[in-house]
Amino acid sequence: MKLSHFFAVLLSGAVALSPVFGAAEKAAPAKKAAPAKKKAAKKKKAAPRSLAEEIKLATTPVQNAKRHAKRHETKKAYAAANKGKIKILMLGDSITHQWEYSPAAEVQKKYITPYNVLNLGCGGDRTQHTIWIVEKSGILELIKPKLVTLMIGTNNRGPAKATAAGIKRILEGVRKHYPDAKILLYAIFPRGANNKNALRMRNEQVNAEIVKFCNGKDIIWVDIRKDFLTPEGILEKSMMPDLLHPRKAKGYTVWGKSLEPYFKKYGK
């Protein structure tokens, strides 16, 4: 091969290869600049509310939440259709609501079904929700029960005095609607595994306040807390599986037995 021809071939190869090398260079990822470290935004803690503010919160009717709408609509229709038949009204949160759940079905047949009962308990309710039911829902105007049961407050998180103020307003609202009805005010049931549970201790503080609202005549204090516990104050899962709701037959039987004499007297 002539030298001149060799250089020509070499030169033509270099030209052909150069785009390949250029593509490789373009494909090489560019070094990314290290992201600037974001300073964690410091969340400002909300200033604690005063007792007066907490009382206002616990005593101000909450507008009907979406999760309540269907239940209240159904209950209102039932109340309208059974005006003269309903003799017992039950107010409360999920603990009352769950009388209607399947785990309590057999117990309900014995203690609730034989009577004309309207259960307005609703899961997650606090005092302000029950106040809405009593004052704003329009359901209570449709019936004239002889007996009203109330247990509410375990979902509230403010000071005991604020929750107690909410319960007092509920009692006043019920009394305004039904001057002659008997009201059973239940001590808030124990929750948590033992007496050191913070939420149980808070409920005990509320109970110490609301017992003062009872006179033993038209507002009757019903305290069955010890019946749910061992002598050592332990709440067992056989009684309340989640240490809050007496969902199974054992827990609701305790409650049912306490209701029975009043339901027999006022429920027919």
262-266 own/partner pairs: CB under 8 Å, 24+ apart: 262/147, 262/149, 262/182, 262/184, 263/88, 263/111, 263/112, 263/114, 263/115, 263/117, 263/147, 265/147, 266/87, 266/88, 266/146, 266/147, 266/182
What is the predicted pLDDT for the residue at 125?
A: 96
What is the predicted pLDDT for the residue at 151?
A: 98
What is the predicted pLDDT for the residue at 41?
A: 52
Instruction: At 28, list the tokens.
Output: 């090489």
pLDDT values of the chain reduced to their tens digit, one per residue, 268 residues: 444 443 344 334 443 333 333 333 344 444 555 555 555 455 677 788 999 999 999 999 997 677 788 899 999 999 999 999 999 999 999 999 999 998 888 899 999 999 999 999 999 999 999 999 999 999 999 999 999 999 999 999 999 999 999 999 999 999 999 999 999 999 999 999 999 999 999 999 999 999 999 999 999 999 999 999 999 999 999 999 999 999 889 999 999 999 999 999 999 8
Element (H, E) at 182: strand 182-186
For 105-116, give the secondary structure using H, E and C. HHHHHHHCCCCC
Domain boundaries, the chain: 51-266
pTM: 0.82
Rounded to a whole number of angstroms, the CA Rg of the chain reads: 33
**Three-state SS for 235?**
strand
CATH of the structural domain 51-266, one choice from 3.40.50.1110, 2.115.10.20, 3.40.50.720, 3.10.20.30:
3.40.50.1110
